[in-house]
Structure 1
Amino acid sequence: MTADTIADPRTPLAPRRKGLNLEKWGWLFMRGSGVLLVVLIFGHLIVNLVLGEGVRQIDFAFVVGKYATPFWQWWDVIMLWLALIHGTNGMRTIVNDYVTHNGTRRVLIWALWIVAALLILLGTLVVFTFDPCLGVTPDSSLWQMCQG
């Protein structure tokens, strides 16, 4: 067969590589996390913006009340983790599609995952160590609540 002809459709494919297929698992993760993110985000929006007094209810006390329960802490952490990993995997795909130099592609992908890991770490730390009484002084409106 010459270079200017197309292979017969029934020509056997090249042998498949053995081992873990990361691209397949990345593709599956994007579909699953996308569906789960839609549920998590709409649940978040309904609770925060539709139920109760709407956007007027969102203040520091509202956040304190939500983060006082492990359910909402885990809801937000799962949403944070999935959104960051989903977005980073999407950016990785774009870098793979458009960056042709192998060294540059490798550096950009490492930078993406390092930044995502840092944001996941910091976000998780904020959610689970959130303390509304940290730095409260006697002239603050939270002083009474934090004394009990």
Structure 2
Amino acid sequence: KYTYNALPSKGDHIRLIKLYPGEFRDRIEIEIKTVEFDRFDTPPYFALSYTWNDSHHDRLVVEGKRISMENPMRLEYDFRHPVWCGDRRLLVSTNLRDALRRLRHPTQPQTFWINALCINQDDLDERASQVLIIQRIYHKATMVKMWLSEAGDDCEEGFKLIRRL
């Protein structure tokens, strides 16, 4: 399991991840780096905005059959997926795993700020301090990439609605 180092107490610091290149099904590998925020030498990065699906909302299909939410069989499946930082792993939601698979470049590493990975979610003080600067984090990003989910049956209807608006 990955263990976060504490962020320095002096100044505003954030973590950025380097998402290593790979093909869709390859293992997801990252490097986590702490940087002083708002400095001229803060590296350029993308910020990812995505939905934090709870695992009980994930679709489960076993042997070609969709398993309903009420089916006790769902408890047998783990909806957390590994992301590797060296030989340590962090567990992420299906939706974040899908986003990382789709957004990573096949040959070049990319730098991202992703709240689930860049903020130690087990440290309440850190979470509180990072929330105070989150608007600046998104503002300073080279680009904010949005991810809702993998395309589903209702995707086309959603785009039709957007076009009408």
State whether TM-score is above 0.5. Answer: no
Bigger relative CO (Cα 8 Å, ≥ 6 apart): 2
Scaled to the shorter chain, the TM-score interval is: under 0.3
Which of 1 and 2 has greater Rg? 1
- Whichever structure has more helix as a proportion of its residues is 1
TM-score w.r.t. structure 1 length? 0.27
- Whichever structure has more strand as a proportion of its residues is 2
